A = this chain, B = another copy of it.
Amino acid sequence: MHEKKRRIVILTEGYFGGLEAKTATGLIMYKPEEVVAILDSTKAGKTVQQILGFGGEIPIVAKIADSLKIQPNALLIGIAPRGGKLPSEWREVIKQAMENGLDIISGLHDMLNDDPELSALALRMRVKIHDLRESKPYNKVSTGDPSLIKSQVILTVGTDCKTGKMVTAFELARQARKFEWNSLFIATGQTGIVIAGEGVPIDSVIGDFMSGAIEEFLIEKSNYYDLLCVEGQGTIIHPGYSGVSLALIHGSLPDAMVLCHYPGRERIKNYRVKIPSLSELAQLHEEIAKPVKPSKVIGISLNTSHLSDDEARREIERIEDETELPTVDPVRFGCEDLINAMEFLRSR
């Protein structure tokens, strides 16, 4: 994949523009030059710009066949469905893509390389299947020794899934470079890994090795960077995914955390669990981090994409008053306030 320039069609059937299609949105936001088309029959004929408000003239098409004239070389499964399963109706689309010479990039929990039909077809068509969540290489237990990570570590944590943890970590790393940090974004989910080209698919690692997987990756990267901005996952109060979230906290041994929130979200998506106040949740993160390595929540990051500029500014002010923490929308207004709040790490 990395030798040739990627020309990606993203499959998002029925979901493009929504939170379920966050892998597609993320790649268009950060690597638009790699995206040649969106496959979504419910929005075919429109451009990406018309749906997202950014992304320019990238076309939305109804069928793989409609994208072939743009010469794609890969199909990306562009959604993160609950449970990570391959919807059966998408199998045909994947087969058509391979039959037309496209590689497949998948972040699903189901390893497409383990699927007899799809792997046989890949061999026959001489295309590759990239399973981003392949977890077999991980078999190390965390050492829990912060001295092995030689750079500063910021971890984004959240009030829920889909609150902007990936975008915040990415923007922190990118914008911190302007302030003379030699910083790197560390991807831990399928979207981040597609964008960064590497990372740790933490939610697919088996329980005992989750912390060790991220720790090992950070130890290696800390040889080359002085600030690692780690994408968090889920939330420590998520009924299904809290174990992954906590493993990231204790495995990445952060020097500071940023709490990410989607204004208006009152309950965990798809669950009845009520989200506590941001101050309470920040405190809970600090308390659970503390025995392994003390770490503070130094700021709040909001995803205000559904609000007007005025509403966004008011919400940022309100949360800033409520939490007494610097609050930003890193995409809309930048995250300079968070980078200032990280200044105390510089002298360590």
Chain A positions near chain B (C-beta within 8 angstroms): 82-85, 109, 135, 139-145, 202-212, 236-247, 249-251, 268, 271-276, 284, 287-288, 291-292
Contacts and interface: CB of A to CB of B under 8 A. Distances in A.
A246 B240 contact: no
A144 B241 CA distance: 10
3 cross-chain pairs, A with B, having the tightest CB-CB distances, nearest first: A144-B239, A243-B247, A237-B291
B239 A243 contact: no
A212 B243 CA distance: 11
A287 B290 CA distance: 14
Given A204-B207, A207-B205, A240 B142 contact: yes
A139 B292 contact: no
A238 B250 contact: yes
Nearest to A276: B291
A113 B247 CA distance: 28
A83 B208 contact: yes
Contact of A242 (B82, B206, B250, B273): B250
Given A109-B206, A109-B208, A273 B144 contact: yes
Nearest to A268: B144
Given A141-B240, A144-B239, 20 more contacts: A109-B139, A109-B209, A143-B239, A144-B268, A202-B207, A203-B206, A204-B207, A204-B208, A207-B247, A208-B244, A211-B241, A236-B246, A238-B292, A239-B251, A239-B292, A242-B292, A243-B245, A273-B292, A276-B291, A287-B287
Contacts of A140: 83
Contact of A211 (B236, B243, B284): B243
A210 B288 contact: no
A109 B138 CA distance: 11
Contacts of A273: 144, 291-292
A140 to B, nearest CB: 7
A41 to B, nearest CB: 27
A210 B271 contact: no
B144 A288 contact: no
Which residue among A202, A208, A275 has the maximum number of chain B CB atoms within 10 Å of its CB? A208
A243 B145 contact: no
Given A144-B273, A239-B211, A284-B288, A205 B206 contact: yes
B241 A208 contact: yes
